[in-house]
């Protein structure tokens, strides 16, 4: 990953509603949530929610998939993994195992 792509991903997360949506989707993994469920949980208005989902999708942080009449949004695991890898690439004086989260994370 290059710096510009990392900046794009971080910029998408540097907004309160988008960060809230992203954090809501992380525990769902690839199962995801419908736009309606996200709106209900976050209390974000549907037109505003669509904008934020589009921004997260364009940054490569979430996926969208049509299931019947619903669109299901889930984290884009590879995009998140690449961002975390980029941010921690030279972590801990060359000992990246020290940067490994202690919890069992999906990424």
User: What pLDDT score does 103 carry?
Assistant: 52
Q: Is 105 a domain residue?
A: no
pTM (two decimals): 0.84
Could you give the percent of the chain with pLDDT greater than 70?
Answer: 89
Q: Is 99 a domain residue?
A: no
For the beta carbon of residue 16, count every other beta carbon within 10 angstroms: 8
Q: Is 39 a domain residue?
A: yes
Residues 6+ apart with CB under 8 A from 98: 91, 92
CATH of the domain at 20: 1.10.10.10
Residue predicted with more confidence, 99 or 26? 26
Residue 85's pLDDT band, with cuts at 50, 70 and 90, is: confident
**Domain membership of residue 26 as a residue range:** 3-88
Among the residues of 43-105, which ranges form H helices? 46-58, 77-87
Q: Is 14 a domain residue?
A: yes
Q: Is 29 a domain residue?
A: yes
Question: What 3-state class would DSSP assign to 106?
Answer: coil
pLDDT in tens, 9-36: 999 999 999 999 999 999 999 999 999 9
Q: Is 94 a domain residue?
A: no
CA distances from 88 to 59, 83, 106 (A): 19, 9, 17
Q: Is 106 a domain residue?
A: no
Structure tokens at 63: 């996926």
User: What pLDDT score does 90 carry?
Assistant: 77
pLDDT over 50 (residue 70): yes
Residue 106's pLDDT band, with cuts at 50, 70 and 90, is: very low
Residues 6+ apart with CB under 8 A from 52: 15, 17, 18, 21, 44
């Amino acid at each position: 990953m290059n710096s510009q792509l990392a900046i794009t991903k971080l910029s998408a997360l540097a907004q309160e509603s988008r960060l809230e949506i992203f954090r809501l989707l992380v525990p769902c993994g690839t199962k995801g949530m419908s736009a309606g469920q996200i709106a209900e949980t976050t209390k974000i208005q549907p037109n505003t929610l669509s904008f934020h989902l589009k921004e997260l999708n364009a940054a490569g942080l979430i996926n969208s998939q049509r299931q019947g009449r619903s669109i299901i949004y889930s984290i884009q695991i590879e995009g998140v993994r690449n961002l975390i890898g980029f941010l921690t690439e030279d972590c801990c004086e060359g000992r990246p195992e020290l940067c490994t989260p202690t919890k069992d994370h999906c990424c």
